[in-house]
Amino acid sequence: MKKILIIGSVGQIGSELTLELRKIYGNDNVVATGRKTKPSEKLLNSGPFEFFDTTGKEKLIEICKKYKIDAIVNMAAILSATGEEKPMLAWHVNMNGLISVLEVAREMNMEQVLVPSSIAVFGPETPVDNTPQETILRPTTMYGVTKVAGELLGDYYVRRFGLDVRGLRYPGIISNETLPGGGTTDYAVAIYYEAIKHKKYTCFVKEDTRLPMMYMPDCLKATIDLMQADFSKLKHHSDFNVGAMSFTVGELADSIKKYIPDFEIKYEPDFRQAIADSWPNSVDDSAAREEWGWKPSYDLDSMTQDMLKVIGEKHKKGLI
Ligand code: SER
């Protein structure tokens, strides 16, 4: 890959992935796009940036021609909680955005497309512990519906057109650069910010809610390792389970209390509880481990230490 386009560079994962890919492939070879949120100075000053609404195919063609793009990473999506409030918006952004990316990549003979999927592809009938790679995909959220369709579409483009499409099922992603927005797993990020700022947090899911989670450095590693994997060794394409850790909110709060002993947590579950309850506790990622050598580095306590350090420093500087 010589020139990569990242759609959704202003989001939680996109903002960090863009900078990481710029380090590897060169600043000018990684073109960032965002819809309307103002990009950070870091993003703007480190390489090209274009405003782009993910569903506009003509504009996508124009950008791809302008920069001679040969790979697209599509990080733009409406996540689970916003998707339940605005299902048609989730369908529009997630599906029309994706099909235009796949069509442009096919028409322009691109080298690769990366489309992330999510644990949201699973549903209440899916086995909850160590959820297999191949299993029941009957999600109950619009976000999940679009992610299942996205996996199927990705695999269809591989089989039907020989396009190199790859994707991985992200668990909840925890990070300290850009806040997530509109997801169910957002509590696992907000809790750290509130612990530093106010030493207390009110969580919108119950104490015993257990979900698969991953720290951003592992998320970046998983994404880039999959992008760089040898295509001929992949048996799966758009749907790799990737695991790192699995914890309840109570365990997360206990991990924070090791470093902030007077941290307090309360629980006021809302509509997001049902979404969390429909997702697995943990996933079996042996296909990712076998096919492209996936191996996470962070566990709950090492992540907590790092999150509190980074967010604590930002707080001291008055940045948050
Ligand atoms: N973090 C996402 C969400 O909560 C799951 O992929 O919607």
Residue 13's alpha-carbon distances to 10, 61, 217, 267, in angstroms, are 8, 24, 10, 27
Mutational pocket test of ligand 1: of 143, 175, 242, 277, the residue with most ligand atoms within 8 Å of the beta carbon: 143
**171 contacts 152 by C-beta, under 8 angstroms:** no
- pLDDT of res. 37: 80
- The amino acid at residue 82 is T
Atom of ligand 1 nearest to the CA of 173: 1
Determine which one of 67, 143, 192, 267 is catalytic.
143
- pLDDT of res. 55: 82
Quote the CA–CA distance of 82 and 88 in Å, as a whole number. 10
Atom of ligand 1 nearest to the CA of 172: 1
Quote the CA–CA distance of 252 and 254 in Å, as a whole number. 5
Q: Where in the chain is the domain with CATH 3.90.25?
A: 175-212+246-281+298-316
Q: How many CB atoms are located within 10 Å of the residue 132 CB? A: 14
Mind listing the pLDDT tens digit for each residue in 17-57? 999 999 999 999 999 999 878 889 999 999 999 999 888 89
Q: Kindly report the protein residue whose alpha carbon is nearest to atom 3 of ligand 1.
A: 183
Q: Kindly report the protein residue whose alpha carbon is nearest to atom 1 of ligand 1.
A: 172
Q: Which residue is associated with the tokens 């090209």?
A: 48
Average pLDDT of every residue of the chain? 97
Mean local confidence (pLDDT), 223-252: 97
Q: Where in the chain is the domain with CATH 3.40.50.720?
A: 4-171+214-241
The CATH number of 4-171+214-241, from 3.40.50.300, 3.40.50.980, 3.40.50.720, 3.30.1310.10, is 3.40.50.720
User: Residue 183: CB within 6 Å of ligand 1?
Assistant: yes
User: Residue 223: CB within 6 Å of ligand 1?
Assistant: no
Atom of ligand 1 nearest to the CA of 143: 7
Report how far ligand 1's centroid is from the alpha carbon of 62 (Å).
31
Quote the CA–CA distance of 65 and 256 in Å, as a whole number. 48
Give the CATH class of 175-212+246-281+298-316.
Answer: alpha beta
Quote the CA–CA distance of 79 and 14 in Å, as a whole number. 14
Mind listing the pLDDT tens digit for each residue in 60-97? 999 999 999 999 999 999 999 999 999 999 999 999 99
- pLDDT of res. 38: 84
C-alpha dihedral over 168, 174, 175, 178, to 10 degrees?
80
Give yes or no: 143 in active site.
Answer: yes
